[in-house]
Structure 1
Amino acid sequence: MADLFVAGGIVTALEDAAIAVGRLDASLAGNPLRRAWTFWSELDTARRHAEADGRKVDLFRLAAHLHGLPLRLGDTASAPERGREIAGLNYAVWLRSWMAAPDPEQQHLRDIALDSLRNCGGGQSALVATAQGMLAWLAGQGSRPAIRAAVPLYLRDRAITIHTLAAITGGDALRAGPDDPDGFTVRFLDAVQREAADGRDLLLTMEREWRGARLRVDHRAGARSNSRLPAAVDLLAASPLLSISALAEALNCSVEGASRMLETLVQLEVAAEITGRTGRGARRLYGLRRLLPIRAETTAVRRRARGGQRGRPKRVLIPPFAGLVDEPRAAEVTPDAEPAEPARLAAVSFDFDALDRLVAAADERTRGVRRLLDRIARGEKPFLPDDGTDEP
């Protein structure tokens, strides 16, 4: 029983972290938004890890960069500043690949890190064992990305979680650097608690937006039981970003019909076209209104309403995934109050395999960016004549 002893200073942090992780994992069970949540949590986790490693990047610019959208550059930014930002974005894309689409070398290092955690986990609670295993790995000069990517896998391996929670890495504990084991363990548990709470807040925000969009579309559809707009909203909510052709394939309708549905959702202020592209053959991507700030980060031409002011629209800065308030009294809730669990919507029957293809396409985008960077590093031409994998 001596191996099961936990120091008194760790008990409270362990309890808080375990409760937060359990609540997040339970909220994702059977949730149709899990795939979209996984994508955005991987992206935000990569952003946080890049910041912890000294490279600060913006989440929405990272999303645009990952999808191959041209980024807007500030007029006052110098060439070195632009170069540092692109390097930071590429670094964040590389960090995400450890979780989403690891190459053989990353897979090998991640497996070694996972085995290291397993070897350090005997006789301890899973979260405490993870902290001690991470500290031992770093003491041996192990790779930071490898151990951070191994933590969610280890927690699932120990049956602490049902899902692989990419957001749970304890990466913020690495900011101050390791000191005494108990001090690092507390910092790790505090970081896990914050990551799990932020992950659940993101999921609740996505559910609130989904609920509000469905209510508006259901009111628009009225008594038409054959309307596909509710199903389109469900697919938009459950996918990272959606193209017209992907929606047409998922709903088994024509591309023209899918385009009309998306335009209707844009007019209802439910969805947003975040690429700013126009014309036939343009690769346009759509998402719910929460993702509209991505459009402000691209260099695509903005369409100006007739009679409106000239020039680029004024950029409105909002925090990533800011909570959506859909009732006037919701803003009056005290910060310490527990957010109410939104009513779960009945899942609309459509092919969720389309979501797997969308996520796979995003992973392939990550591989394409890495291939492009490797060719540039070797001094070769960025694009090969017959290479179509890196095209946006």
Structure 2
Amino acid sequence: MADLFVAGGIVTALEDAAVAVGRLDAALAGNPLRRAWTFWSELDAARRHAGADGRKVDLFRLAAHLHGLPLRLGDTASAPERGREIAGLNYAIELRSWMAAPDREQQRLRDIALDSLRDCGGGQPALVATAQGMLEWLAGQGSRPAIRAAVPLYLRDRGITIHRLAAVTGGDSLRAGPVDPDGFTVRFLETVGREAAEGRDLLLTMEREWRQARLRVDHRAGARSNSRLPAAVDLLAASPLLSISALAEALGCSVEGASRMLEALVQLEVAAEVTGRTGRGARRLYGLKRLLPIRAETTAVQRRARGGPRGRPKRVLIAPFAELADDAGVADATPDAEPAEPTRLTAASFDFDALDRLIAAADERTRGVRRLLDRIARGDKPFPTADGTEEPGAA
């Protein structure tokens, strides 16, 4: 077996990146939240990629836009500014489709980029070969979204990872920087290490939030072995945003029963209604409480609890999925200490069939958004109303 040669200035960055990627991949093994983590990682990666391409978007506004929620627009924003933001959000959704639900042309270009990475992989460690392959691809005027989407697939193809790590793309290395190959390689490795570390922090935070929600619900359910509230919490934790009808279909219960379960979880301060919509026919979406800032980004009529303060809920200015401390002493821990792994919840009660149905519904919605954007790009009417099968608000 030939020895792999790595330049001295790259060794440290390579070691750090390899350790971070390995930790993330190991944390995802057998994890019930892996699919939910993949969704949010793809969405956050699309946000970062749009920023690297000069279009800054907000993660919570992107999530609301992806789910078809009307966005709140600032009173001081001009019409061109609003148009640029909507264009940026649409661009980020387009970037996510390269990873989540590529069309035929995107898949073709992604496969070409993947083959290009494979051709550059001889005699170098996988991460270094990925950096050099990306640099050669860009030098040949290749598509940026294609090469970014190909990176997780290539790492899995080389046996470096077991899973397709949606968070690890090296996309931020495409920002302006040194033009020499070694400089780009170091920047790529540092980016990969940072992406993997942030992806692992996100997963641990989601696990911790799920554990805290389950503990609160289990305490409420008590000895009732037939309670479906724990299963509802599992689906909320493992899915992006959940509607009442989707929960009813996943659990095999009535819509009224699913609505009561979600309202009970809201009362327990475990879940939050992120749309704020009212009315029997309104499409209301729910998520765990950390997703409440999405609600502040929509224009739907805001509902308030009886006796509560009036007005729109305050926007929480925190990083998405910021670390949740188990107790007050966690904040005083030394920064160099390795974060303790949260106690894993038993997966015996987790309904993976229900989760599969939810993921399939989310993918179908993504494809619907892409079809709508394609019609607008062609200059057609967004919603055909003559003999077409789609009507406004059909979703």
8 Å contact 1:211–1:345 — kept in the other structure?
yes
Q: Is the 8 A contact 2:277 2:303 kept in 1?
A: no
Deviates more, 1:3-12 or 1:330-339: 330-339
Matches of 2:350 and 2:319 in 1, distance apart?
A: 33
Q: CA deviation at 1:356?
A: 2.3
CA 1:289 to 1:118, structure 2 compared with 1: closer, same or farther past 3 Å?
same
Partner residue, 1:171: 171
Match of 1:7 in 2: 7
SS across alignment from 1:26:
helix
SS of the residue 1:122 aligns to: coil
* Aligned-partner residue type, residue 132 of structure 2: Q
| Deviation of 1:354 (Å) | 2.5
Distance (whole Å) between structure 2 residues aligned to residue 21 and residue 384 of structure 1: 46
What residue is the counterpart of 2:390 in the other structure?
388
CA deviation vs aligned residue, 1:263-304 (integer Å, no higher than 9, x gap): 111000001111111221221111111111111111111113
Which residue identity is paired with 1:315? R
The equivalent residue for 1:295 is 295
Work out whether residues 231 and 351 of structure 2, in 8 Å CA contact, stay in contact via their aligned partners in 1: no
Task: Measure, in 2, the Cα distance between the counterparts of 1:387 and 1:15.
Answer: 55
Aligned length: 392
Call closer, same or farther: CA 1:306–1:243 in 2, change over 3 Å: closer
CA distance in 2, matches of 1:62, 1:359: 18
Write out aligned runs for 1:257-336 (5 A).
257-336=257-336
> Partner residue of 2:90?
90
Decide whether the 8 Å contact of 2:250 with 2:358 is kept in 1. Answer: no
Assess if the C-alpha contact under 8 Å between 1:61 and 1:297 holds in 2: yes
Contact kept? 1:234, 1:348, Cα under 8 Å: no
Q: Letter of the aligned partner of 1:123 in structure 2? A: G
Change (3 A) 1:206 1:76: same
SS of equivalent residue, structure 2 residue 272:
strand
Offset, 1:148: 0.3
Deviation string for 1:92-150 (max 9, x for gaps)? 00000000000110000000000000000012111011011001101111000000000
Q: 1:40-66: per-residue Cα shift (whole Å, max 9, x none)?
A: 000000000000000000000000000
Distance 1:360 1:313, change over 3 A: same
Residues 240 and 358 of structure 1 are in contact (CA less than 8 Å); yes or no, is this contact kept in structure 2? Answer: no
Task: Please state whether the residue corresponding to 1:337 is helix, strand or coil.
Answer: coil
Question: What is aligned with 1:344?
Answer: 344
Scaled by the length of structure 1, the TM-score of the pair is: 0.96
Q: Which amino acid aligns with 2:389?
A: D
CA distance 1:304–1:235, shift in 2 (3 Å):
closer
> Which secondary structure does the structure 2 equivalent of 1:72 belong to?
coil
SS in 2 for 1:4: coil
Instruction: Give, in whole Å, the separation in 2 of the partners of 1:166 and 1:313.
Output: 32
| Deviation of 1:326 (Å) | 2.6
Partner of 1:29: 29
1:246–1:354 CA contact under 8 A, matched in 2? no
Deviation at 1:376, TM superposition (A): 1.9
CA distance in 2, matches of 1:108, 1:338: 42
Work out whether residues 4 and 125 of structure 1, in 8 Å CA contact, stay in contact via their aligned partners in 2.
yes
Q: Tell me the residue number matched to 1:127.
A: 127
Deviation at 1:167, TM superposition (A): 0.8
Residue identity (%): 87
Name the residue aligned to 1:242.
Answer: 242
